[in-house]
A and B are shown apart, each in its own frame.
Chain A
């Protein structure tokens, strides 16, 4: 199994739920944001993570880059378990694991010029020579389609698309191996989305970077990903190669997602939307995560959680029906 760039095994993250008295008493329950995720990412591969908001996909990404601490499981990267590293031990790995945020404009220091922001990152990672830093920054800006002009701008002087390019530049500048993209295009216009996605594709092929692409937009995920994991309520419900997933979705949640996605070429009177809301997953949660909303729920689904197993080569799903 050593050939994977990053391997996540049974990752867990829970948040305490306190009673009326707040933190005065021990938490009465725990909310499982991530409840046992396992997947891997190979070198140069794009892994798409889809799911509705609140299913834990962003939390997973944040744990990988070390912004949140996991409560269980492991993340193997380069022979080290990221969950067990201290802040200090993690720091050298920052160079290799980067993140692009959804709301990039607020992920940039509003008081610094863009050139200074990017150069600071290089300073931290040991580029001592100022002229060299500047050269590298200008090269990276050019690579993401910005120019020298933007070097002297403040972040709030840029447009939404330019800001997102800049966010990618910020991640690229130290030549990482894996970039976690947390909804990088969902705040953008469709036409700008396309530009950014094309750029990401090019960069990925050129530099052989792996991406963990987190999004709720299955169209975007289909375009960019090599493999896709569908996430629901803290767990993966289906995972396979992109085209196989779209041709042959097995899990009822995946099918429901596809049915609900808008398609500009089909005029519909009504969307086949899922009814109800995502339940809260607590410690006591039993059965299949999707059982409360699944049209095919049986007694067994409510009692027993289906195993996430391989049904064909490279196609895993967690459902009793298949």
Chain B
């Protein structure tokens, strides 16, 4: 914020303090945001730190330990090759978060560019939205499988395929809310003030679509994690020895009647991760609207 100079007076200090206080109240009024954020951060920290806290190789087989139930040595038990499930789960989280995060970021960037321009220029709208319609018409997971079949299996190709799958839905969300913002009187007022098209698009319309976009991004993050797991489960995702939640679920399907923890643990990891992302997204939406009052929900 460039307009805040160093020599801000006491008046402005008091106002900033008041505004910070209001923000704090709003934050505390949405427990979902805090729970989702904490859950997501715990998973993130575990995933980032696991190579540093444990020397165990997630892919090294210890055949004598195969299918051990949870105990003191292996807190979540072992799989059919005797690999520690907890360690593999954390390495799987690295893959899931990396894929999910990249897909969310890339599809948001593409979706925002497409959506904003489509909302503002009529001709572009027709062209871009028909392409998006076409992509949406194909079931997402099938499109991803087809793309991966063409591109080959690797984590980057999963990211590219899922980005193509999710970009149209981001573009549609952005376009829908951008069209609402475009009709706002303050956009008209800006035109009267002499704003150019680019300035209207990026300085007025973009901030207006940020809050639906963050919600959408968190959902896409969550959905991409599920899709990545599905793709891996179907053998079209991350190649086999590497740990990913989908691979682990697929491996467990042969042994889950004997060792149910091999299925429950990666399944629960997907659920927890997706749940905290969704809570985070919902909470963010409430928090980011400057007009929501703290405690208004009670």
Residues of A within 8 A of B (CB): 65-67, 91, 94-95, 97-99, 101, 103, 106-111, 113, 115-116, 119-121, 124-125, 130, 134, 148-149, 151-154, 156, 170, 174
* Cβ-defined contact, B194 with A121, below 8 A: yes
Say yes or no: A111 contacts B290, CB within 8 Å. yes
Q: Are B192 and A67 within 8 A (Cβ)?
A: yes
Q: Contact check, A109 vs B192: say whether CB atoms are below 8 A apart.
A: no
A and B contact pairs by CB, cutoff 8 A, 25 listed = A66-B191, A67-B191, A94-B194, A95-B194, A98-B193, A99-B189, A99-B192, A101-B185, A106-B186, A109-B204, A110-B186, A110-B290, A110-B291, A113-B3, A115-B3, A119-B3, A120-B195, A120-B203, A124-B194, A125-B194, A134-B3, A148-B12, A151-B12, A170-B189, A174-B193
User: Which chain B residues in 206-229 approach chain A with CB under 8 Å?
Assistant: 207-208
A156 B5 Cβ-Cβ under 8 A: no
Is B194 within 8 A of A108, CB to CB? no
For residue B186, which residues in chain A have a CB less than 8 angstroms away from its CB? 106-110
In the complex, chain B residues whose CB is within 8 Å of the CB of A174: 193-194
Complex interface: chain A residues within 8 A of B193 (CB): 94, 98, 120-121, 124, 170, 174
A130-B11 contact given A95-B194, A101-B189, A121-B193, CB 8 Å threshold: no
Q: Is B202 an interface residue (CB 8 A)?
A: no
Report the separation of the CA atoms of residues A151 and B194 in the bound assembly, to the nearest whole angstrom: 21
Residue in B195, B196, B290 whose beta carbon sits within 8 Å of that of A156 in the complex = B290
Contact A116 B1 (CB under 8 A): yes
CA distance A130 to B15 in the complex (A): 21
A258 to B16, CA, bound (A): 50
Distance (Å) between the CB of A156 and the closest chain B CB? 6
Contacts of A95 in B (CB 8 A): 194
A124 touches B195 (CB 8 A): yes
Complex CA gap A154/B195 in Å reads 20
Tell me whether B9 is interfacial, beta carbon within 8 Å.
Answer: yes
* Closest B residue, CB atoms, query A134: B3
Chain A residues with CB under 8 A of B257: none
Tell whether, in the assembled complex, residue A98 and residue B192 are in contact, meaning their CB atoms are under 8 Å apart: yes
Residues on B lying within 8 angstroms of A by beta carbon are 1-3, 5, 9, 11-12, 15-16, 19, 184-186, 188-196, 199, 203-204, 207-208, 290-291
Complex CA gap A98/B192 in Å reads 6
Q: Which residues of B contact A91 (CB under 8 A)?
A: 194, 196
Q: Are B194 and A107 interface neighbours, CB within 8 A?
A: no
Please tell me if the beta carbons of A106 and B185 are within 8 angstroms of each other in the complex: yes
Closest 3 CB pairs of A and B: A94-B194, A107-B189, A107-B185
| Cα separation A107 to B187 with both chains bound (whole Å) | 7
Residue among B19, B188, B194, B290 with the highest chain A CB neighbour number at 10 A: B194
Whole-angstrom CA separation of A119 from B203 in the bound complex:
13
Q: Quick one: closest A residue to B12, CB to CB? A: A152
B11 and A148 form a contact (CB under 8 A): yes
Contacts of B2 in A (CB 8 A): 130
Given contacts A67-B188, A91-B194, 16 further A-B contacts (CB under 8 A): A65-B192, A66-B192, A94-B192, A94-B194, A98-B192, A101-B185, A101-B188, A107-B188, A109-B207, A110-B291, A111-B208, A115-B3, A116-B3, A124-B195, A134-B3, A148-B9
Minimum CB–CB distance for B261 against chain A, Å: 48
Write out the residue numbers on chain B whose beta carbons fall within 8 Å of the beta carbon of A124: 193-196, 199
Q: In this complex, what residue of A is CB-closest to B189?
A: A107
**Inter-chain contacts of B9 with A (CB < 8 A):** 148
Which of chain B's residues have a CB closer than 8 A to the CB of A108?
186, 189
A170 to B189, alpha carbons, bound, how many Å? 9
Q: Given A94-B193, A111-B207, are A156 and B291 neighbors across the interface (CB < 8 Å)?
A: yes
Q: Which residue of A lies closest to B289 (CB)?
A: A110
Residues of the A chain whose Cβ atoms lie less than 8 Å from the Cβ of B199: 124
Q: How far apart sit A151 and B138, CA to CA, in the bound complex (Å)? A: 51
Chain A residue with minimal CB distance to B13? A152
Q: How far is the CB of B182 from chain A (nearest CB, A)?
A: 13
Task: Return chain B residues, CB-CB under 8 Å to A113.
Answer: 1, 3
CA distance A97 to B194 in the complex (A): 10
Cβ–Cβ < 8 Å partners of A66 in chain B: 191-192
The CA of A107 and the CA of B9, in the complex, are separated in Å by: 28
Q: Which residues does chain B contribute within 8 Å of A119, judged by CB atoms? A: 3
> What residues of chain A lie closer than 8 Å to B196, measured between beta carbons?
91, 124
Of all chain B residues, which has the CB nearest A150? Answer: B15
Residues of A within 8 A of B192 (CB): 65-67, 94, 97-99
User: Which residues of chain A come closer than 8 Å to B3, judged between CB atoms?
Assistant: 113, 115-116, 119, 130, 134
Closest to B197 in A: A87
Bound complex: CA of A110 vs CA of B3, how far in Å?
A: 17
A108 to B188, alpha carbons, bound, how many Å? 10
Shortest distance in angstroms between A211's beta carbon and chain B's nearest beta carbon?
Answer: 15
Interface pair A149/B11, CB less than 8 Å apart: yes
Is the CB–CB distance between B191 and A149 below 8 Å?
A: no
Q: Whole-angstrom distance between the alpha carbons of A94 and B195 in the complex?
A: 9
CB neighbours (8 Å) of B11 from chain A are 148-149, 152
Q: In the complex, what residues of B have CB within 8 A of residue A65's CB?
A: 192
Min CB–CB distance B16 → chain A (angstroms): 7
Q: How far is the CB of A302 from chain B (nearest CB, A)?
A: 39
Question: Nearest Cβ in chain A — how far from B13, in angstroms?
Answer: 9
Please name all residues of chain B whose beta carbon is closer than 8 Å to the beta carbon of A170 when the two chains form the complex.
189, 193
In angstroms, Cα B183 to Cα A106, docked, is: 11
| B residues near A156, Cβ cutoff 8 Å | 290-291
